[in-house]
Structure 1
Amino acid sequence: MTVVREYDPTRDLAGVEDVEHRCEVGPSGKLSLFTDLLGDPICRIRHSPSYLMLVAEMGTEKKEIVGMIRGCIKTVTCGKKHDLNLKSQNDTVKPLYTKLAYVLGLRVSPFHRRQGIGFKLVKMLEDWFRQNGAEYSYIATENDNQASVNLFTGKCGYSKFRMPSILVNPVYAHRINVSRRVTVIKLDPADAETLYRLRFSTTEFFPRDIDSVLNNRLSLGTFVAVPRGSCYGSGSGSWPGSAKFLEYPPESWAVLSVWNCKDSFRLEVRGASRLKRVVAKTTRVVDKTLPFLKLPSIPSVFEPFGLHFMYGIGGEGPRAVKMVKSLCAHAHNLAKEGGCGVLATEVAGEEPLRRGIPHWKVLSCAEDLWCIKRLGEDYSDGAVGDWTKSPPGISIFVDPREF
């Protein structure tokens, strides 16, 4: 008999960690990615406004944790509308918000699969979502993870919704030079919030509590790139604030923020051959010894490593892609100083600025599948205003608290 209940850190930690280490992330046939949550199974959701973790327990006398699932709820942008009541020649576009739930971290022990445990965990978590007013629920999984896709789109009633790309770049032993034609400016959290709300609040999945994200201890800063020599790139004291900046922007500019995942969880790649490990180590030794060669070395991903996550990527102008590239170089150097193994981000599949984001194809995921479900009895009625039926936009806002 399987019982699903709320996670209790005083007695469930060892059982949860055991299941976590038994479950590999990613489709079979590839190198396996294991997640170390640093002794805190709810670390990946505790920064959200509302969250819950459930465990599946089996047995009568000797009880065993055989599965778990995590979920969180927040308010995000699901569309936009024109405010026709304003007396202006141009309509003001405003965001449409919805209460969205996110399912993540579903794990079932390999010895107890195909017994309906995963389905039971999802249904119990969805009940909690409804009780707390969530209007939609979504999950992220690899497009070729057929078992996960079948569970959610088949048994649980989710539909395929968006297919963003996870872009991952190694952190080299040498620093990357930021273009001398670009000035990188660090914004304080309040100024960053102003910029995001004024320019990106109508972007799909934009979190209404962006201030909580930017003020979180794991947020390492928001950075704006502008052309050197422009009125904003001429040195200290030239930044007028985000509102004024957006009113009179330079020809091209870009922005991104950096989140420290290293203090929440670590990753480890397993299953690599001895030859691959030796080659990787050789590139690191050469890069560290001869940094002027700028060798694209392979970090030590075959033992626990941390990562930084870039989010809130945006910009405008003919040189916006180059501005993003400079910001990524700056973020790389931050990750190097922080002792990270990789630098990652997630963007919409058609995001034009992705051309400025360096990444290795072998480390990245070109098609990360997001599936969505409208909670309630009428989720399949196709009514006007159903977010699940909306076409994708050019960009999405990926919340770092859920990566």
Structure 2
Amino acid sequence: MGVVVVVREFEPDKDRVGVEEVERKCEVGPSGKISIFTDSLGDPICRVRHSPAFLMLVAEMAGNRAEEEREIVGMIRGCIKTVTCGKKFSRNGKNLKTVPVFTKLAYILGLRVSPSHRRMGIGLKLVGEMEEWFRGKGAEYSYMATDKDNEASVKLFTDRCGYAKFRTPSILVQPVFAHRVSIPKRVRIFQLSPFDAESLYRRRFSTTEFFPRDIDSILHNHLSLGTFVAVVVDVASGDPNHNPSSPWPGSDCFLSDPPESWAVLSIWNSKEVFTMEVKGASRVVRGLAKTTRIVDRALPWLRIPSVPELFGPFGFHFLYGLGGEGPDAVRLTKALCGFAHNVAKERGCGVVVAEVSSREPIKSGIPHWKRLSCDEDLWCMKRLGDDYSDGSVGDWTKSPPGRSIFVDPREV
């Protein structure tokens, strides 16, 4: 008797167990690297539910008789948002300024097919059904991210689904040590309110590729732990903006007369969404890692780069909205990352993660361990239709990469 595959919308009460079973069967990420382990909230759709529009589909395998048990053999998640895809010049009286060009963008996340049901066209069918939903919602482009060494995924999207290789950002992962990271005394760190952070991001980063138009929703989300700006303190200069006792002047005042150098980042609490795990480590490696933790806890002043417990489920914080200006921007970024490390330590996280363009000027200021990081994450893009919200951009899939990208923490 034949079997059929039905793709339908995820039903939490009905499908949760089946989806979790497929997740357990699917290995995500190469051995020895960080890979997704489980959803810490027990909610398979939680990774996209913070987006403006989202959907989860499941593929169900069944025989041709109604009484036969149905089995979930695959799933896919998708969301839609409006982002910056380019920029143009606009004249306001005598002033010429650069303004962002927005497009409606869809994102495919978490395509899974049970190993026992691969090479049956299920993945292709899931992608096709999700793209139909994207088109129905008016999305102009669709993109997805995968490990560049995941040949099956790359082949599916580029050879069979019409996607093109688009960007190769770097995923930078830093372990959270048992000791605190010291912040240089000449660095002052301010925490911004969500409203002030929105003003700063819109004024300085709105033309950055992939910048979300609903940045306010991200900054006000309960998973966003705050936005922080670092500057160099110089008491001798007499400049109140650099005085260690002066309060944050507000984004408008700060940007109207900025210091020579500054840096900014925001922290997203991914620990509340899902956990991860490093797989493939030998007993010897695990033993050595445990030894570093013991010594680091006993002698924190030595600042030993200890390896946290990464061989079981652990949470992480994601750093987003990274940027800066001036000759000391890299050094200030490093200080902010140290501050973020200490926040993660207080909240019991295993690692701190950032994803930035491989051409990002401040990339060298982001601490990370190469063994846990990924030099080239692969983003693939597809044009869904011929109509564009603004003709000045043309086909975004053919545009050259810029220096920076804005990585939306809701999709990590």
Matched, 1:188 2:193: yes
Is residue 258 from structure 1 mapped to residue 267 from structure 2 by the alignment? yes
Q: Which residue of 2 aligns with 1:65?
A: 72
* Gap runs ≥5 in structure 2: none
CA distance in 1, matches of 2:160, 2:194: 42
TM-score (norm 2): 0.94
1:315 correspondence with 2:320? no
- State the alpha-carbon separation in 2 of the partners of residues 175 and 154 from structure 1: 47
1:202 corresponds in structure 2 to 207
* Preserved contact between residue 210 and residue 407 of structure 2 (Cα < 8 Å): yes
Q: Which residue is 2:38 aligned to?
A: 36
Residue 181 of structure 1 deviates from its aligned partner by: 1.0
- Measured in 1, the distance between the counterparts of 2:176 and 2:13 equals 37
| C-alpha contact 2:165 2:378 (8 A) present in aligned 1 | yes
The answer to whether the 8 Å contact 1:35/1:266 transfers is yes
Task: Give, as a single letter, the amino acid of the residue that structure 2 aligns with 1:183.
Answer: R
Post-superposition offset of 1:30: 4.7
Which whole-Å CA distance do the structure 2 matches of 1:395 and 1:31 have between them? 25
Counterpart position of 1:293: 302
Cα deviation per residue 1:216-236 (whole Å; 9 max; x = unaligned)?
A: 000000000011125324245
Q: 1:383 to 1:198 in 2, by over 3 A?
A: closer
Residue-by-residue CA offset, 1:222-278 (whole Å, 9 max, x unaligned): 000011125324245432210111110001000000000000000112222111111
- Structure 1 residue 377: Cα displacement: 6.2
Q: How many pairs were matched up? A: 398
Instruction: Specify the alignment match of 2:48 in structure 1.
Output: 45
Q: CA deviation at 1:33?
A: 2.2
Deviation at 1:130, TM superposition (A): 0.3
Report the CA distance between 1:64 and its aligned residue. Answer: 0.8
What TM-score, normalized to structure 1? 0.96
- Could you tell me how far apart the structure 1 residues matched to 2:160 and 2:233 are? 55
Q: Aligned with 2:196: secondary structure?
A: helix
Counterpart selection for 1:16 from 15, 19, 33: 19
Contact between 1:24 and 1:32, CA under 8 Å: does it hold in 2?
no
Corresponding letter in the other structure for 2:363: R
Aligned in 2, Cα 1:133/1:121: closer, same or farther, shift over 3 Å? same
**Conservation of the 8 A alpha-carbon contact between 1:32 and 1:271:** no
- Partner SS for 1:304: coil
Pairing 1:156–2:165 present: no
CA distance in 2, matches of 1:165, 1:32: 14
Question: 1:342 & 1:377 partners in 2: Cα distance?
Answer: 42
Distance 2:101 2:405 in 1: 14
**Is the partner of 1:232 in helix, strand or coil?**
helix
Residues 342-396 of structure 1: CA deviation (Å, up to 9, x unaligned): 00000001111001000000000000000000002689xx996111111110000
Q: Secondary structure at the match of 2:241?
A: coil
* Contact 1:21/1:34 (8 A) holds in 2: no
Residue 34 of structure 1 contacts residue 270 of structure 1 at CA under 8 Å; is this kept in 2?
no
Pair 13,200 (structure 1): closer, same or farther in 2 beyond 3 Å: same
Deviation at 1:144, TM superposition (A): 1.1
Partner of residue 78, structure 1? 85
**Does the 8 Å contact 1:226/1:253 carry over to 2?**
yes
